[in-house]
Amino acid sequence: MSWLGRLFNPAAPPSPPAHAVVIPEDIVGQLNGGAAPLQVTVEEALRSLIEIRRRAAEHDAEGLPFWLRREAGQKGEIDESLRDRVTQRRATESES
């Protein structure tokens, strides 16, 4: 190719390999805070994200929103506390 062809039709930059990822500079600055190399830090962050998603999927297996699951898990405790209150109130009423 002539120098005029190179001047007016510059070649596109080479594409990164299939598993390469371009990370924005602001994120790189936040990830480089530690002493570990960037590759190790990114790998740890991705593994942590995968683990968080796996745990969320396990808890979401019931198909209920988190606020209903929490209440359903505490239902027995609430029933017992209400039963205790009613018993105490009846005991105080009968003493009076």
Reported as a single tens digit per residue, the pLDDT across 21-61 is: 788 888 888 776 667 788 888 888 889 999 988 887 776 65
Based on the fold, state whether residues 71 and 95 are members of the same structural domain. yes
- Please check whether residue 73 lies inside any domain of the structure: yes
State how many domains the chain has. 2
Based on the fold, state whether residues 34 and 48 are members of the same structural domain. yes
- Please check whether residue 10 lies inside any domain of the structure: no
Based on the fold, state whether residues 73 and 86 are members of the same structural domain. yes
- Would you say residue 10 has pLDDT above 70? yes
Based on the fold, state whether residues 42 and 71 are members of the same structural domain. no
H helix runs in 9-65, sequence order = 25-31, 38-59
- Please check whether residue 81 lies inside any domain of the structure: yes
Assign 92 to helix, strand or coil: helix
In which domain, by residue range, is 36 found?
Answer: 24-63
Based on the fold, state whether residues 70 and 55 are members of the same structural domain. no
- Please check whether residue 3 lies inside any domain of the structure: no
- Please check whether residue 34 lies inside any domain of the structure: yes
Q: Find out whether 26 and 32 touch, Cβ atoms under 8 Å.
A: no
User: Dihedral through CA 45, CA 49, CA 51, CA 56, nearest 10?
Assistant: 160
pTM check: above 0.75: no
- Please check whether residue 1 lies inside any domain of the structure: no
- Would you say residue 80 has pLDDT above 70? yes
Q: Which residue has the higher pLDDT, 86 or 68?
A: 86
